[in-house]
């Protein structure tokens, strides 16, 4: 009955054009960062080179926050650099924060092991103390949420990327996983991001060192993890009320955690609502939260042009090459492709007219991991948020909102977008995607089983 009563109002809100409103995010506090202190790095090789350069030159602090620091050549190269920097500068504070669960398991599909934490302990035993590596348990189990904060703070520099640290992200052996890479030189922003993790992570009983001989069990930490999770939902970065001068860009770091009162989610939705003419969405997995899908539909009805770039099925990091044994995790890329097919079919009129452009990225056997937004010519969002239901409600996320009313960064953003499109193809029609009838037999069988019991929706939310 209530739904019937409210139906006319809900229908009107969907059909009527947006009310004109002030530019979204205008009330956010911010750091005033000179535009020439913000750089866009072109590729994974430049990211690796800049990260190692910053570590080698560090004099006061190195605070690295990432999903994982892998036990492979890329991860060891970074650890070697951290220990070398500490040896050169004994007073240097070096802290690394990784996801607690991800650090203590082997790779999916591989034999059971002590995970990356074994490498951390081996380095400490061989080279001694000085590099503190912490595991951050956002949830009791990895399936229900991980540490997905991003940002490498080295002295007064913030190197921000959605990339983790391993061979493929650091393009160590030919193959790469493409992300976005931005360098912001600003002491206040660096202090806020480093200060947050030092104050709230190191100060929590749930966050424990991983490169020590005795590591507590997850079970013993469950009360502390519960308390930590409740605290995270109340936290935010400390950001001043600054004034924007000529030549400066407003940069706001935001935190996001939980289904409700999630500041990052709320600001992203507000920014999307405020789009005037043009929106570019970057996401590695086409699995948009419902609120985002609804807003995209409203923007299209309003006449905005939307470009969405996503990785081709073969550029997904869950891709299993032909000839290798099929694993259930490989089903995900087919689920994402089905999501994309439904979206394109639902908006085929806008696709045909060029108002909606879906770009599929593919470059050989490399993979795609881009996230973020470009809104009109004056707002950009740098984030590790995958713009999927898991990021929206389970993982601990962050992002940087860049507001640029004077269009000082427009040339850099246009160059970044042009470079990304070099390996992308516009999807002209949903029929250009592989038909589900041509999927491998194991995939067709699993998809039928999931669809029969509606488990595909649950999988989309969790993975």
Q: List pLDDT tens digits, range 99-148.
A: 999 999 866 545 456 899 999 999 999 999 999 999 999 999 998 999 99
pTM of the model: 0.91
Mean pLDDT in residue range 201-225: 95
Predicted confidence at residue 16, as pLDDT, reads 39
- What tens digit of pLDDT does each residue of 50-71 get? 999 999 999 999 999 999 999 9
Residue 449 has pLDDT above 90, yes or no: no
Nearest to 58 by CA among 95, 89, 96, 97: 89
CB proximity list for 360: less than 8 A, separation 6 or greater: 310, 311, 312, 424, 425, 426, 427
Average pLDDT, the chain: 90
Catalytic residues: 148, 179, 369, 397
Question: Which CATH superfamily groups domain 36-232?
Answer: Endonuclease Chain A (3.30.870.10)
Domain ranges of the chain: 36-232, 259-393+396-462
DSSP-derived secondary structure for 132-197? EEEEE-SSSSGGG--B---EEEETTEEEEES--BSTTTTT-SS--EE--EEEEE-HHHHHHHHHHH
Predicted confidence at residue 107, as pLDDT, reads 61
- CA dist 423 and 432 (Å) reads 17
Residue that the structure tokens 């059971």 belong to? 112
Three-state DSSP class for 20?
coil
- CA dist 180 and 417 (Å) reads 11
DSSP-derived secondary structure for 298-319? HHHHHT-EEEEEEE-GGGSTT-
- How wide is the angle at C-alpha 408 spanned by C-alphas 407 and 410, nearest 5°? 60
The tokens describing 376, both together, are: 């009109």
Per CATH, 36-232 and 259-393+396-462 having the same topology is answered yes
Residue 180 has pLDDT above 80, yes or no: yes
The angle, 0 to 180 degrees and rounded to 10, between the axes of the packed helices 332-346 and 441-452 is 70
Residue that the structure tokens 């032909």 belong to? 322
Residue 450 has pLDDT above 90, yes or no: no
> Higher confidence at residue 322 or residue 17?
322
- Integer CA distances (angstroms), 85 to 53, 93, 231, 284, in order: 11, 10, 33, 34
Predicted confidence at residue 114, as pLDDT, reads 80
Distance between terminal CA atoms of the chain? 35
Nearest to 70 by CA among 107, 38, 36, 101: 107
Give me the residues paired with residue 178 across strands. 368
Mean pLDDT in residue range 19-31: 66
Predicted confidence at residue 315, as pLDDT, reads 87
> Higher confidence at residue 1 or residue 90?
90
Mean pLDDT in residue range 84-89: 97
Three-state DSSP class for 103?
helix
Predicted confidence at residue 442, as pLDDT, reads 81
Three-state DSSP class for 384?
coil
Residue 383 has pLDDT above 50, yes or no: yes
Q: Which of 330-339, 396-405, 429-438, 449-458 has the highest mean pLDDT?
A: 396-405
Mean pLDDT in residue range 168-181: 96
Q: Which fold has domain 259-393+396-462?
A: Endonuclease; Chain A (3.30.870)
Phi then psi dihedrals of residue 409, to 5 deg: -100, 5
């Amino acid at each position: 009955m209530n739904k019937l009563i409210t139906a006319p109002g809900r229908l009107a809100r969907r059909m009527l054009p947006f009310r004109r409103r002030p530019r979204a995010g205008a009330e956010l506090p911010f750091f005033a960062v000179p535009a020439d202190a913000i750089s866009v790095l072109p590729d994974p090789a430049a990211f690796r080179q800049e990260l190692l350069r910053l570590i080698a030159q560090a004099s006061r602090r190195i605070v690295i926050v990432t999903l994982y620091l892998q036990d492979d050549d890329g991860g060891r190269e970074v650890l070697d650099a951290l220990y070398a920097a500490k040896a050169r500068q004994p007073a240097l504070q070096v802290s690394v924060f990784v996801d607690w669960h991800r650090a203590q398991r082997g790779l999916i599909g591989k034999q059971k092991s002590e995970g990356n934490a074994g490498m951390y302990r081996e380095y400490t035993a061989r080279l001694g103390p000085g590099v503190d590596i912490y595991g951050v348990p956002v949830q009791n189990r990895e399936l229900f949420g991980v540490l997905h904060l991003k940002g490498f703070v080295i002295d007064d520099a913030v190197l921000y990327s959605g990339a983790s640290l391993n061979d493929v992200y650091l393009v160590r052996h030919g193959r790469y996983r493409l992300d976005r890479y931005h360098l912001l030189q600003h002491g206040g922003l660096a202090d806020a991001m480093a200060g947050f993790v030092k104050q709230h992570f190191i100060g929590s009983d749930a966050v424990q060192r991983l490169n020590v001989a005795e590591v507590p069990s997850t079970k013993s930490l469950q009360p502390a993890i519960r308390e930590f999770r409740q605290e995270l939902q109340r936290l935010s970065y400390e950001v001043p009320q600054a004034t924007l001068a000529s030549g400066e860009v407003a940069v706001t770091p935001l935190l996001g955690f939980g289904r409700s009162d999630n500041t990052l989610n709320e600001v992203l939705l507000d920014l999307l609502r405020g789009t005037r003419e043009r929106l570019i969405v970057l996401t590695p997995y086409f699995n948009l939260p419902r609120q985002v899908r609804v807003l995209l539909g409203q923007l299209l009805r309003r006449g905005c042009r939307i470009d969405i770039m996503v990785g081709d099925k073969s550029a997904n990091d869950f891709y299993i090459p032909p000839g290798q044994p099929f694993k259930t995790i490989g089903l995900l890329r087919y689920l994402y492709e089905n999501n994309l097919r439904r979206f394109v079919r639902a908006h085929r009129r806008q696709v045909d007219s060029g108002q909606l452009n879906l770009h599929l990225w593919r470059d050989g056997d490399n993979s795609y991991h881009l996230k973020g937004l470009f809104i009109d010519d004056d707002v950009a969002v740098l984030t590790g948020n995958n713009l999927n239901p898991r990021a929206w409600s389970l993982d601990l996320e962050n992002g940087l909102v860049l507001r640029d009313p004077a269009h000082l960064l427009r040339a850099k953003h246009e160059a970044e977008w042009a470079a990304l499109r070099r390996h992308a193809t516009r999807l002209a029609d949903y029929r250009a995607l592989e038909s589900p009838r041509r999927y491998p037999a194991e995939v067709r069988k699993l998809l039928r089983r999931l669809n029969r019991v509606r488990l595909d929706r649950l999988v989309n939310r969790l993975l």
